[in-house]
Structure 1
C-alpha cells in the first residue's frame, strides 16, 4: 500500500514537473513576444505601458522559477535585504528613543536643580560682638 502511495506521489510530482516545464517554455516564448510588443508600444505610447508589461512578465517568470525550485526540493532564499532594512530601522528607532529619554532625564535634572536653588534657605551666622 505504501508502494502504491509512493508511485502515485512520484507520478503526481512528475506530472507537475512536466506541466511546469511546459508552462515555463510557453512563458519564455510569450515573454519574447511580449518584449517585442512592449518595445513597439514604448515607441508609440508612454513608457508606463512598457513598464507594466515588463513587470508582469518579470513577476510571472519569478513565480515560475520559484515553483520549479520548490518542485526540485530546494528551499526559498531568505529575503536578506528586507531583514537588513528592518534591522537598521530597529537600530534607528532605538537610538531615537534613547536620545529622547536621555534629553528628558537631563531636563528633569535641570528642573530639580532650579527648584532646589529657588527653595534653598541661606543661613548666615550672626556674630555677637560683646
Structure 2
C-alpha cells in the first residue's frame, strides 16, 4: 500500500515537527519562567522595600516625637532610629537579592536541561551519532592493564617458588653414587 520511502519520509517529517514544537515549547517555557522569576523577585523586593519604608517612616515619626520631647536625648534616639531603619532596609534588599538569585539558579538549570535535550534530539534527527565516552574507555583500559600486570607478576612469582621447591625436593631425595675403582 505505502512504499517504504513514503513511510520514512512521513516519519522524518513527524519527528521534525515534534522536535520543532519541543524546541519552541522549551524556549517559551524558559521565557515564561524568566518572566515569572523576575515578577516574583520584583514583587518580593517591592514588598520588602515597602515594609522597610513603613518601618523607616514609623521610626522617623517616633524619633521626631522623642526629639521634640527630650532635647538632647531625642537626637540620640533619632540617630538610633535612623540607623535601625537603614539596617532594616539593607536586610530587605539582601533578602530580595537572595530570592532572585535562587530563582535565577533554578531557571538556569531547567533551561540548560531543556536545551541539552532539544540539541540531542536535533542531532539524532540529523543522523549524527552521539560521541564515544573516551574517558570511560581509557579508564577501563587502564584498569585492565593494571589487573593484567598484577596477575602476571603473581603468576611469575608462583612459578619461581614452585621451581625452587621442586629443586629443593630433588636435592633432598637424590642419591649420590660415587664410583669406586677396584683394582
Range of TM-score over shorter length = 0.5 to 0.7
User: Quick one: structure 1 residues 105 and 39, their matched pair in 2 at CA, closer, same or farther if it must change by over 3 Å?
Assistant: farther
1:13–1:71: 8 Å Cα contact kept in structure 2? yes
User: Quick one: structure 1 residues 59 and 122, their matched pair in 2 at CA, closer, same or farther if it must change by over 3 Å?
Assistant: farther
User: Quick one: structure 1 residues 18 and 37, their matched pair in 2 at CA, closer, same or farther if it must change by over 3 Å?
Assistant: farther
Q: What SS is found at the alignment partner of 1:124?
A: coil
Q: CA RMSD in A?
A: 3.5
Q: What SS is found at the alignment partner of 1:78?
A: coil
Using the alignment, how far apart are the partners of 1:82 and 1:98 within structure 2?
24
Unpaired runs of 5+ in structure 2? 38-97
Q: Tell me what 1:94 maps to.
A: 148
Using the alignment, how far apart are the partners of 2:101 and 2:6 within structure 1?
52
Counterpart pick for 2:102 among 40, 60, 63: 40
1:87-126 correspondence runs (5 A): 87-126=141-180
For normalisation by structure 2, the TM-score amounts to 0.48
Q: Which has the higher relative contact order, 1 or 2, with Cα contacts under 8 A spaced 6 or more apart?
A: 2
For each residue in 1:55-74, what CA deviation from the matched residue of structure 2 results, as whole angstroms up to 9, or x when unmatched?
x7765554333222112221
Unpaired runs of 5+ in structure 1? 42-49
For normalisation by structure 1, the TM-score amounts to 0.64
Using the alignment, how far apart are the partners of 1:80 and 1:93 within structure 2?
20
Q: Which moved more, 1:119-128 or 1:84-93?
A: 119-128
Question: How far apart are 1:114 and its partner, in Å?
Answer: 0.7
Q: How many residue pairs align between the two structures?
A: 115
Considering only CA atoms, is the larger Rg found in Structure 1 or Structure 2?
A: 2
1:74-89 correspondence runs (5 A): 74-89=128-143
Runs of 4+ residues deviating >6 angstroms = none
